[in-house]
Amino acid sequence: MTKKIFDILPPGRSSLESVQPLPKMTTRRFINWRFLILGFIVIVGVSAVLYQVFGKDFILHLEPRTRIINLETEFRIDGQSTEIDFETNILPGYLIVRQESEEQTFTTSGEEVQESRATGIIRVYNAQTPPKSITLVEKTRFLSSDGVYFRTPQRISIPPAQIEDGQVIPSFVDVPVEAMDPGEVANINPTKFSIPGLLGTALYDKVYGESLEAMSGGSVERRAKVTQSDLLQAEEALELSLVNNLIDKLESEDQDRVILPEAVQVEISAVTPSVEVGTLIDQFNCLLEGEIKVLVFSQLKMEEFLAQKIKQRLGEEYLAVPGSFYLDYRIFSFDEEAEVLRGNLKFSAAVYQDLEEETWADQLSGRSREEIRQFLLADSRIQAFEFRLRPFWLRRAPETDKMEIELIFKP
């Protein structure tokens, strides 16, 4: 059954008349200052508790007064020792034995000059009258029109010229010749030749020559050649490189190792060059194989040894600034069989008097800022200092467990 709905409007009001919306209601916010203040107090309280538990109230940085000293001592590295003997200057060391090889390419230093003389054929004419044969001796010289000398390696016999209808027909023979000097300058084109040996005679312009083809084959070439010195220098260079590479490798394996080149013994088992002496080549390879024995010792042990030497010289209260040692070794001998290295050591270091900073906490606790400053200024062992009290409102140094004291060394 269908329901009917009737809209009932008040008298005098149209259904199309717009309805005005009600104004929005605004809520008024109130700030609760009591909660904010309480939260702030809680945060400050927690921070103070955490600071008291974990924080440092007093931080002091001290720079000791230092000076440079220069000392000298003899020493012995012994592979059989395990501890430092300060009385006899013996430090422990240990022997390392390695089988190593090194191969490099080297440039040859020798030189060989390869020379060749130009050769060719000269047609030699005989036009003398009355006709008569002529003989030129072995090694007769021929001079080209541009001044290059050639000579024939053999004796030359030239038959007499012919007379035909009153005309002289020169006879000729073709003979091989070779330039007197090596080099490309004698590689000349076809030209005329005179015979300097006939100069001043009636035959000079009657006996002459010419080439019908260019001369060739003259050259001067410089070739690199391997010498005995090259092989010896290669062996020396390989041995030095072998030692340096091993030292670098051993030091990279352990940063505390000290390896002196004089404490390295090389026994070469084989040297294999890729060429022989006299080979014409610009470069060659060489392989060196051998056994290397190295006596090494500890840098920390050496610095401990030298620190004691400083105390013996200056007094027990003197300490070396860490990392300030400069060492100059001079080696006397190395016996790889006995595993003993002897030498002399000149060294320098920055030193300072022990501040005994671990005792300062008790002395500074409870002092005011000015009292701390005056206390530190009065100590001649101190070069400079800096301290902080925190939080900023603290006026006196706190108890000892809230102190941090650190030594600072400037380079």
pLDDT tens string, the chain, 411 residues long: the values are: 434 433 444 444 444 444 455 455 454 554 566 666 776 666 655 555 545 544 558 888 999 999 999 999 999 999 999 999 999 999 999 999 999 999 999 999 999 998 999 999 999 999 998 999 999 999 999 999 999 999 999 999 999 999 888 899 999 999 999 999 999 999 999 999 999 999 999 899 999 999 999 999 999 998 999 999 999 999 999 999 999 999 899 989 999 999 998 999 999 999 999 999 999 999 999 999 999 999 999 999 999 999 999 999 999 999 999 999 999 999 999 998 999 999 999 999 999 999 887 788 888 888 888 998 999 999 999 999 998 887 777 788 888 778 888 899 987
* Residue 263 domain-assigned (yes or no): yes
Domain count, the chain: 2
Q: Which pLDDT value is given to residue 24?
A: 53
Preceding peptide of 130 cis, ω within 30°: yes
* Residue 151 domain-assigned (yes or no): yes
- What's the whole-model pTM score? 0.61
As a whole number of Å, the end-to-end CA separation of the chain is 106
Q: Do residue 237 and residue 195 come from a single domain?
A: no
Question: Both tokens of residue 292?
Answer: 């290397």
Measure the CA–CA gap between 328 and 270, rounded to whole angstroms: 34
* Residue 70 domain-assigned (yes or no): no
Encode pLDDT of 216-232 as tens digits.
999 999 899 999 999 99
Measure the CA–CA gap between 244 and 242, rounded to whole angstroms: 6
Please list, in sequence order, all residues whose beta carbon lies within 8 angstroms of the beta carbon of residue 145, skipping any fewer than 6 positions away: 191, 192, 193
Identify the bridge partners of residue 341 per DSSP, sorted by sequence position.
77, 334
* Residue 25 domain-assigned (yes or no): no
Q: Do residue 130 and residue 218 come from a single domain?
A: yes
Measure the CA–CA gap between 18 and 220, rounded to whole angstroms: 121
Q: Do residue 128 and residue 214 come from a single domain?
A: yes
Q: Do residue 137 and residue 190 come from a single domain?
A: yes
Q: Do residue 156 and residue 179 come from a single domain?
A: yes
Is residue 108 classed as helix, strand or coil in its secondary structure? coil
Q: Do residue 133 and residue 263 come from a single domain?
A: no
Question: Both tokens of residue 3?
Answer: 């329901």
Q: Do residue 191 and residue 102 come from a single domain?
A: no
* Residue 74 domain-assigned (yes or no): no
Q: Which pLDDT value is given to residue 358?
A: 79
Q: Do residue 123 and residue 269 come from a single domain?
A: no
Q: Do residue 171 and residue 194 come from a single domain?
A: yes
Q: Do residue 139 and residue 266 come from a single domain?
A: no
**Boundary (domain end) residue, out of 296, 325, 359:** 296
Strands in 301-407 per DSSP E = 318-320, 326-335, 340-353, 382-389, 403-407
* Residue 339 domain-assigned (yes or no): no
Q: Is 29 exposed, middle or buried (0-12, 13-18, 19+ CB in 10 A)?
A: exposed
Q: Which pLDDT value is given to residue 15?
A: 41
DSSP state of 371: H
Q: Report the DSSP pairing between strands 283-298 and 90-107.
A: antiparallel
**Boundary (domain end) residue, out of 266, 296, 326:** 296
* Residue 367 domain-assigned (yes or no): no
- What amino acid is encoded at 206 in this protein? K
Q: Do residue 101 and residue 239 come from a single domain?
A: yes
- Domain span at residue 145? 114-222
**Boundary (domain end) residue, out of 277, 296, 315:** 296
Q: Do residue 158 and residue 127 come from a single domain?
A: yes
* Residue 408 domain-assigned (yes or no): no
Q: Which pLDDT value is given to residue 391?
A: 75
